[in-house]
Amino acid sequence: MSTVSNTQTAQNVLAGLGRSEPVGKKDDENSQARFLTLLTTQLRNQDPMNPLENAEITSQLAQMSTVDGIERLNTMFSAFVDSQNANDSMQAAALVGRGVLVEGKRLGLTESGAVGGFELDGPADKVVLSIKDAAGLTVGQMELTDVDAGSQNFVWDGTASDGSRAADGIYTLELNATLRGEKVAGRTLEFGPVTSVIRGPAGTDFQVGALGIFKFDDIKQIL
């Protein structure tokens, strides 16, 4: 088994990402001015026989300070979210043209070979990868030892179990991993190129060739 190196670069970078506009302070200033006007009017027209106590004035000022602080915090948080979304989009755009591994069973063989992968929930002392054709017959097998938990990638050169060259096409990958004879949970991964980035209200999605649309968390490895 050979391993794919992480040296490929993006071929296309998305342009024209929106920039968030600076948040103005006019609304905050108007709100404070209105509050101070109301408080001044209240003090000017209070009952001289029952004036506001210092504690009441202090309480109202404290409330205004709290509201103002919350508004400023919301403004700062909104600006942070906008900045973070723009940054995430820029990072996502860098994946266009890169190969990734996502969960799936298909293994596409071309004259250059086939790239696939698997993910283990724990370490395994033995991993057997079975490559099957459309009829479900095993065409080839790869056996690995002492494999760590996490995602792994491999390249199949197309050599079948009998030593012949398998025909180009789509095959199915099956995984059997064990540790001291006990089964280790895992799943197979399939390879595809990131062809576009889709930014929506729920986050950023990736179109991975003909495999479909995936979230960033669905991408197990970037090659």
Per-residue pLDDT of 94-104, as tens digits, reads: 889 999 999 99
In the DSSP assignment, the letter for residue 136 is S
- Residue 18: both structure tokens together: 């929106």
Q: How many CA atoms lie within 13 A of 214 on its CB side?
A: 24
Q: How confident is the model at residue 204 (pLDDT cuts 50, 70, 90)?
A: confident
75 pLDDT more than 60: yes
pLDDT by residue (tens digit) across 161-188?
A: 999 999 999 999 999 999 999 999 999 9
Q: How confident is the model at residue 18 (pLDDT cuts 50, 70, 90)?
A: very low
Contact 103, 220 (CB under 8 A): yes
Average pLDDT rounded to a whole number, residues 30-38: 66
Where do we find the tokens 């990958």? Answer: 173
Q: How many residues does the chain have?
A: 223
Contact 188, 96 (CB under 8 A): no
Average pLDDT rounded to a whole number, residues 33-61: 62
Collapsing DSSP states into helix, strand and coil, what is residue 58? helix
